[in-house]
Amino acid sequence: MPDQKFALPDWEIQVISPGRVNLLGEHVDYNQGLVLPIAIDRYVRLAARPRADDLVVIESLDLNEITQFHLAGLEQRADADGRPLAGWALYPAGVAWALRENGLEVRGLEAVIASDLPIGAGLSSSAALELAFALAWGAAAGWGMERMALALLCQRAENLYAGVNCGLMDQFTCAHGVARHALFFDTRSLQWQPLPMPPGTTVVIADSGLRRQLSTSGYNQRRVECEQAARALSARLPGIQSLRDVNPAQLDAHADCLTENERKRARHVVEEIERVRQAAMCLAQEDAPGFGRLMAAGHASLRDLFEVSLAELDGLVEAALSIAGCHGARLTGAGFGGCTVNLVEKDAAGAFSQELQRQYRQKFGRQAQVYVCQPSRGTHLAGT
């Protein structure tokens, strides 16, 4: 477990909530597609104790910031002094709002948080934070909830309160992570299955150092383009609810009804869902090289068709694929910055990480933070 930078108070509620990295299936969760993420062994940690009033006081040790807001005024998205909530504070406030909207008791809370997840890097620090507070409020009030329902409420908080139109994958993964396994997740049926990672491999995450804000980046625009493509295709193909329902032959036959951007976005989604199906078979067959080839193909599609990559992300992927012991590499998360994910032979991970950093620094003059990770357990109360 990574060393912790800050010590949390020894309060009655202690929550450990992992980040996530998506191995394959990017930008398909909001198209009701198939994804293949893992929870990772880097965490948001939370210590909390209930209050007798409706005030929520949160101290972020990483940011050296404290925010306070009243549960009675959540719709205002304002702190206790009437000022707009800081961006990071929208996530716990949104969870409180979603839980209360669902009729659950939410008490005043004093909380301290610390994390070894890089913020804004595409490793779902926001979903980890959401699930941590959801479990904390459940523990404070004494109610429990099935994990999928809790993930759905946290997604609602991010969509409607924080203003990011994310799919369910991030919250699902943080809630359901299984040690040493990837999660094969159908975002339409909500059925899922843990699949063992290939023996002798590890996951290496490389942080480009470039940051983006999802609500102000091209993320929401990509989602709109996918929805427009599905609507246009449904005029020709009755019964189409989302791009999940379109196969490559249908897209070829009816591409003329789409704009150029819609064609490219749809092509990526349709083919990426098929890559996830193939990747699940690779895991079942312990085929790490085959899985890696699908990762590389996914990156090319995100770069050329979905157009969410950057030169630095492309550089990290190209460098990774040239280094011994690397089976596959691609950008992960929404793109527009953030991280790449690499499937690497465990014995080669140290040398791989050093060489990847060297090549990135040489080409771009930037330092890449590199994390060697293993699939982790989902959000849980410490000691349980």
Per residue in 298-343, pLDDT tens? 999 999 999 999 999 999 999 999 999 999 999 998 888 889 999 9
Give the pLDDT mean for 77-100.
97
DSSP 15: E
Q: Are residues 170 and 227 in the same domain?
A: no
Torsional sign, CA 32, 37, 42, 43: positive
Where does the pLDDT of residue 5 fall: very low under 50, low under 70, confident under 90, or very high at 90 and above? low
373: left (phi over 0), alpha (psi -120 to 50) or beta: beta
Question: Taking Cα atoms as reference points, which of 80, 104, 365, 339 lies closest to residue 210?
Answer: 339
Where does the pLDDT of residue 274 fall: very low under 50, low under 70, confident under 90, or very high at 90 and above? very high
69, containing H or E segment: strand 65-70
Q: Which domain range does residue 220 map to?
A: 201-373
DSSP 368: P
28 CB-side CA count, 13 A:
34
Tally of domains within the chain: 2
Residue identified by tokens 């953030």 is 338
pLDDT on residue 124 = 83
* Pair 40, 123: CB distance under 8 Å: yes
pLDDT on residue 218 = 81
Where does the pLDDT of residue 213 fall: very low under 50, low under 70, confident under 90, or very high at 90 and above? low
Where does the pLDDT of residue 214 fall: very low under 50, low under 70, confident under 90, or very high at 90 and above? low
The percent of residues above 70 in pLDDT, for the chain, comes to 97
Residue 94, classed as helix, strand or coil, is helix
pLDDT on residue 267 = 98
Q: Are residues 85 and 143 in the same domain?
A: yes
State the Cα–Cα distance between residues 128 and 158, nearest whole angstrom: 12
Q: Are residues 171 and 217 in the same domain?
A: no
Give the pLDDT mean for 20-26.
96
Q: Are residues 292 and 208 in the same domain?
A: yes
Q: Per residue in 105-153, pLDDT tens? A: 999 999 999 999 877 667 888 999 999 999 999 999 999 999 999 999 9
Of 169, 196, 223, which residue constitutes the final position of a domain?
196
CA angle 130, 308, 291 (to 5 degrees): 80
Q: Are residues 187 and 268 in the same domain?
A: no
Where does the pLDDT of residue 1 fall: very low under 50, low under 70, confident under 90, or very high at 90 and above? very low
State the Cα–Cα distance between residues 329 and 366, nearest whole angstrom: 19
Q: What is the CATH number of the domain that holds 113?
A: 3.30.230.10
The pair of structure tokens assigned to 374 is 């293993």
Give the pLDDT mean for 25-43.
95
Of 196, 221, 252, which residue constitutes the final position of a domain?
196
Q: What is the mean pLDDT of the chain?
A: 94
Q: Are residues 207 and 191 in the same domain?
A: no
Where would I find the beta strands (DSSP E) of 121-180?
A: none
Rounded to 5, what percent of the chain is helix, strand, coil?
45, 25, 30
Chain length of the chain:
384
Least confident stretch, 3-17, 93-107, 170-184, 361-375 = 3-17
Instruction: Please list the active-site residues.
Output: 170
Where does the pLDDT of residue 216 fall: very low under 50, low under 70, confident under 90, or very high at 90 and above? low
Residue 185 lies inside a defined structural domain of this protein: yes
pLDDT on residue 164 = 82
Q: What is the DSSP string of 264-305?
A: HHHHHHHHHHHHHHHHHHHHHTT-HHHHHHHHHHHHHHHHHT
Q: What is the CATH number of the domain that holds 243?
A: 3.30.70.890
Question: Taking Cα atoms as reference points, which of 97, 215, 129 lies closest to residue 165?
Answer: 215
Does 237 have pLDDT greater than 50?
Answer: yes
Of 168, 196, 224, which residue constitutes the final position of a domain?
196
Distances (CA, A) of 270 to 11, 25, 184, 241: 48, 10, 17, 13
Does 65 have pLDDT greater than 70?
Answer: yes
DSSP 89: G
Q: Are residues 211 and 110 in the same domain?
A: no
pLDDT on residue 2 = 43
Cβ neighbours of 2 (radius 10 Å): 11
Facing residues of 40 across strands?
Answer: 375
Q: Are residues 242 and 125 in the same domain?
A: no
pLDDT on residue 3 = 45
CA angle 327, 329, 332 (to 5 degrees): 145
Q: Are residues 183 and 213 in the same domain?
A: no
